[in-house]
Amino acid sequence: MDLIRFYVRKLITVIKGEILVLPSRMVVAVFFLILLGLPMITQDPYFLRILILTSIFAIFAASWDLLSGFTGQMNFGHALFFGVGAYGAAMLNLHFHLPPWGSIPLGALASVLAGLIIGIPCLRLRGTYLALTTLAFPIILMGIVFAVPEITGGELGISGIDRLVRSRVAQYYITVVVMVVLVVVMWKITDSNIGIIFHAIREDEVAVRASGINTTRYKLMAFCLSGFFAGIAGGLYAHFMRIAGPSTLEVSMSFQVVIWAVFGGVVTIWGPVGAVFILFPLLEFFRFWPELRMLLFAIVILLILLFMPQGLLPWIRDKIENECPRCKIRNVATRKTCRICDASMH
């Protein structure tokens, strides 16, 4: 009994000392709580469907940030990983009758392989060259998909895949929990030693190599990790929509993920996730004017970029929080002195 009381008290202290002190952490905590509790309020299938797709794309956008934001390897063909994951899961499910919990991870492994295959030639390129070259890979695969319709279903794609689970609410919980877990894993990766090396490669690759680190290995690792997460997103998408079509490989899909990630702020992981949760439902909201939908979307992005070019969420965060000039700990903007070292904030 005492032990339980100890842990409860510890939990309260952690919440009080670590979460309630910063508005951004409060927002994240409230956001996750709402996300997990939502089906208790409404079970509207259309509403849940939007949120399921949003969660899937949130994984996808965060995986782009892991590769292109952190490691600086601008990938314009991220749809390749998504498409390989979706097609892989779909084919494994349809031809080998694997259930979703087997086909999605195996499909993601196929994406890892794709990451290796495109990573090896792309390692010799950097910057804009890399961005423009990676654009080519999903299009090459799409040509192959169209050329062998017996296996891939051609233009119609592979349909008749198993559902994730029967009920909509269970589907919602599975995707949301997978999203939360994967995003936390990605965030932890970027916080670890590997993440620091990724970040260093982005800033100055020569310096990293000079410190005795095999940058080639780490860049390949970034491609594979990012491919794995994007592949899981693709597999979930295939099993949720019950179809894996060429639309998963389209150029617009690759562009979409870049828009989400840059809009939310790169090199953060939480930025792209937040951006998807803002932009994707917003796009659904614009459905009331179907003809103007994409136009309004594009204009919103152009206007927001004009005023906050480093991304929406980091901009908001900088407005409500300040960094202590002495100990570099973040504080609420309303505080006059730092909460840790008591130095003046100005």
Partner 1 sequence: MVLDIIITSLINGSTYALLAIGFSLIFGVARIVNIAHTAFYMVAAYCIYFVTYNMGYHPIVGMLIAVPLVTLLGMVTYRIFIAPIREHEAAVLIGTIALAIALQEVMLLIFSGDYRSVPALMQGFFTIFDRKIFYQQLITLIAALVILGALRLLLMQTKLGLAIRSTAQDREVANLMGMNESRVALYTVGISIALAGFTGAVIVPLTIVEPFMWLHPLIMMMAVVVLGGLGSIKGSFFAAYILGFAEAAVVFLIPMGAFLKGSVALSIMILVLLIRPEGLFGIAFEEER
Cβ pair 177, 51 in contact under 8 A: no
Between 14 and 299, name the residue whose CB sits nearer to partner 1: 299
Does the protein bind partner 1 through residue 210 (CB under 8 A)?
Answer: no
- CA atoms of 138 and 142, how far apart (whole Å): 6
Residue 237, judged by CB atoms within 10 A of its CB (0-12, 13-18, 19+), counts as: buried
**φ/ψ of residue 323, rounded to 5:** -95, 135
Among 8, 14, 282, 299, binds partner 1 (CB under 8 A): 299
Cβ pair 70, 229 in contact under 8 A: no
Among 86, 158, 266, 338, binds partner 1 (CB under 8 A): 266
Cβ pair 108, 231 in contact under 8 A: yes
Does the protein bind partner 1 through residue 170 (CB under 8 A)?
Answer: no
- CA atoms of 128 and 121, how far apart (whole Å): 15
Between 244 and 266, name the residue whose CB sits nearer to partner 1: 266
The secondary structure of the chain in percent helix, strand, coil, rounded to multiples of 5, reads 75, 5, 20
Both tokens of residue 339? 């909460």
Among 237, 263, 270, 277, binds partner 1 (CB under 8 A): 263
Between 121 and 325, name the residue whose CB sits nearer to partner 1: 121
Residue carrying the six token digits 């051609």: 154
Does the protein bind partner 1 through residue 286 (CB under 8 A)?
Answer: no
Does the protein bind partner 1 through residue 126 (CB under 8 A)?
Answer: yes
Residue 262 neighbours by CB under 8 Å, 6+ apart: 311
Near partner 1 by CB under 8 A, which window of 99-107, 137-145, 172-180, 228-236?
137-145
Which residues 102-121 are close enough to bind partner 1 by CB under 8 A? 121
Among 43, 128, 159, 211, binds partner 1 (CB under 8 A): 128
Among 7, 32, 96, 129, binds partner 1 (CB under 8 A): 129
Interface residues with partner 1 (CB under 8 A) are 121, 124-129, 131-133, 135-137, 139-144, 146-147, 251, 255, 258-259, 262-263, 266, 291-292, 294-295, 297-299, 301-302, 305-306, 309-310
